[in-house]
């Protein structure tokens, strides 16, 4: 009897000295918290080892050796440091040091760059006149066989006529390389592509694109360079879509690109496959031009942008999506593309064109599909991007 009474006085004990429901719940919660903490620490260690192995440390053998040393040190600490909680704290501290160093590592425009990304375009703006330095105009016969050429070009902002979205597919339908091409009243076109700056002899890795391996470059180029490289040399599927923009928005969009390339020339930035990719940069420059941009799951699936624009009625009016893609595809022009003066005109033969209209806000119907224009929100089409341009 006395033992039973004593059992009832024990903290967390129920009838007969058994643990109460509250005590069991606390133990379960504590166990889940410990499991979650260890899982997060394991993910942090994996991320740290990967960041070291795929980072910017040169030569490659050195970063692989450092990654192996870090992984070995983690294993040794977990096996020999007692108590085990102290081992976990040491591993977490070492991983966080690598994270801090990773975040603080500055990008640089100095490096052994391949010829196609060796230069960063710079823009001088004098009123309506724009002078671009280092516009790329290569003639490609293969990825390794080409004739390099860089030149300076002048344009008038008032001559801006249109902008096209170019989508180049090399693999899954959900992802592609996207860039824009501006048209001018005199018939000239200027393509602008966001590219990764790899070191000489280095191959692009989609995984390394998440770990600050490459710097970012805005390549201003002739269309025969950027498009023919993908259609004639690499055999990619390329589609060109005319995206109607009001004149003020079109000018602000173009000026936003000029401002960004000048900033990159002065302060280089790391490329990131998710947060600072070719598609994200297009949306950010459009945000600079319009003052607004809605982000959702479609933002990162840039291979589906054409389908989304078509569903919104922005491109291909009166056409089925299949017909729009068929008429918008750019086929190989080889071998004539090297000497084709009307290349841009020929690849646009039969291209569906919609009339410009104000940039709308869109809302989604039930199910996540693009819906009607939200009449409660009015578009802002003022040239906001123009105020931030560095001149001279």
pLDDT of residue 73: 92
For 342-366, give one letter per residue: b (16+ CB within 10 A) or e: ebbeebbeebbebeeeebbebeeee
Tens of pLDDT, residue by residue over 259-314, are 999 999 999 999 998 888 999 999 999 999 998 877 777 788 899 999 999 998 88
For the cut 60, the answer to whether the pLDDT of residue 338 exceeds it is: no
Confidence of residue 11 (pLDDT cuts 50, 70, 90): low
Q: Give the confidence band of 389 by pLDDT, cuts at 50, 70, 90.
A: very low
* Phi/psi-derived region of residue 291, left when phi > 0, alpha when psi is between -120 and 50, beta in every other case: left
**Selection from 239, 284, 261, 285 nearest residue 195 by Cα:** 261
Residue 151 burial by CB count (10 A; 0-12/13-18/19+): exposed, middle or buried?
exposed
pTM: 0.78
Share of the chain above pLDDT 70, in %: 83
Q: Which residues contact 301 (CB under 8 A, 6 or more apart)?
A: 174, 175
Least confident of 2-11, 209-218, 322-331: 2-11
Q: How confident is the model at residue 96 (pLDDT cuts 50, 70, 90)?
A: very high
Other beta carbons less than 10 A from residue 227's beta carbon? 27
Cα–Cα dist 268/195, whole Å: 13
Terminal CA-CA length for the chain:
95
With bands split at pLDDT 50, 70 and 90, how would you rate the model's confidence at 190? Answer: very high
């Amino acid at each position: 009897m006395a033992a039973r009474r004593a059992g009832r006085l024990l903290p967390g004990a129920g009838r007969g000295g058994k643990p109460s429901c509250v005590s069991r719940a606390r133990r379960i919660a504590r166990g889940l918290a410990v499991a979650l903490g260890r899982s997060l620490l394991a993910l942090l260690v994996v991320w740290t080892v990967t960041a070291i192995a795929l980072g910017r440390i040169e030569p490659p053998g050195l970063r692989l050796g450092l990654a192996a040393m870090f992984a070995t040190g983690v294993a040794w600490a977990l096996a020999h440091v007692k108590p085990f909680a102290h081992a976990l704290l040491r591993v977490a501290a070492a991983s966080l040091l690598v994270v801090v160093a990773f975040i603080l590592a500055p990008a640089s425009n100095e490096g052994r760059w391949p010829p196609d990304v060796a230069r960063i375009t710079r823009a001088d703006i004098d009123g309506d006149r724009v002078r671009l330095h280092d516009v790329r105009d290569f003639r490609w016969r293969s990825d390794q066989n080409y004739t390099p050429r860089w030149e300076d070009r002048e344009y008038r902002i008032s001559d801006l006529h249109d902008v096209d979205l170019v989508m180049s597919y090399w693999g899954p339908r959900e992802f592609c390389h996207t860039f824009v091409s501006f048209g001018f009243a005199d018939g000239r076109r200027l393509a602008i592509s966001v590219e990764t700056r790899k070191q000489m002899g280095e191959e692009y890795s989609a995984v390394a694109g998440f770990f600050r391996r490459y710097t970012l470059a805005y390549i201003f180029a002739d269309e025969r360079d950027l498009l023919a490289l993908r259609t004639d040399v690499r055999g990619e599927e390329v589609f060109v879509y005319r995206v109607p923009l009001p004149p003020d928005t079109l000018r602000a969009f173009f000026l936003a690109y000029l401002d960004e390339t000048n900033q990159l020339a002065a302060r280089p930035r790391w490329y990131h496959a998710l947060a600072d990719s070719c598609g994200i940069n297009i949306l950010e420059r459009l945000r600079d031009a319009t003052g607004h941009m809605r982000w959702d799951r479609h933002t990162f699936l840039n291979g589906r942008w054409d389908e989304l624009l078509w569903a919104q009625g922005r491109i291909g009016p009166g056409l089925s999506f299949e017909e729009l893609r068929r008429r918008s595809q750019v086929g190989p022009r080889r071998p004539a593309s090297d000497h084709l003066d009307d290349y841009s005109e020929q690849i646009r033969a039969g291209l569906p064109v919609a009339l410009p209209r104000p940039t709308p806000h869109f809302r989604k119907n039930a199910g996540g599909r693009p819906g009607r224009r939200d009449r409660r929100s009015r578009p802002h089409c003022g040239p906001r991007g123009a105020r931030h341009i560095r001149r001279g």
